[in-house]
Amino acid sequence: MNKYESVIIINPNIDEAGIKAIEEKITGLINENGKVEKVESMGKRKLAYEIKKFNEGTYLVFYFESKPSAIAEIERVYRITDDIIKFIVVKNEK
């Protein structure tokens, strides 16, 4: 299993309960094929450039271990979740 770090930017108009629901959904998905080590909420921040007509977004950072084959499924779920406006998954070499 490899270590990964994933940052997602969520629609800024989503309330705290909606953010928690997305966090639980992604955590559950990662735990099916790996293990979440830590989830860090960075709060609402101004974006460097406009994304889908939003100038700010709520950031969540996931630190986890997973099989490389599971990353494609995680990214697919990110794409089909309407409230996620941007994401990235990076492999940690540490």
Q: Does residue 43 form part of some domain?
A: yes
CB 85 within 8 A of CB 11: yes
User: Residue 65 is which amino acid?
Assistant: E
CATH of the domain at 51: 3.30.70.60
Q: Does residue 73 form part of some domain?
A: yes
- Write down the pLDDT at residue 77: 93
Q: Does residue 67 form part of some domain?
A: yes
Q: Residue 93: is its pLDDT beyond 90?
A: no
- Number of structural domains in the chain: 1
Q: Which domain holds residue 72?
A: 2-86
Q: φ and ψ at 52, to 5 degrees?
A: 50, 45
- pLDDT for 24-37, tens place per residue? 999 999 999 899 99
Q: Residue 49: is its pLDDT beyond 80?
A: yes
Q: Does residue 93 form part of some domain?
A: no
- Write down the pLDDT at residue 33: 86
- Write down the pLDDT at residue 1: 86
User: Six-digit token pair at 30?
Assistant: 């990662």
Q: Does residue 92 form part of some domain?
A: no
Q: Strand runs (DSSP E) across the chain, as ranges?
A: 2-10, 34-51, 54-66, 84-91
Strand partners for 87: 8
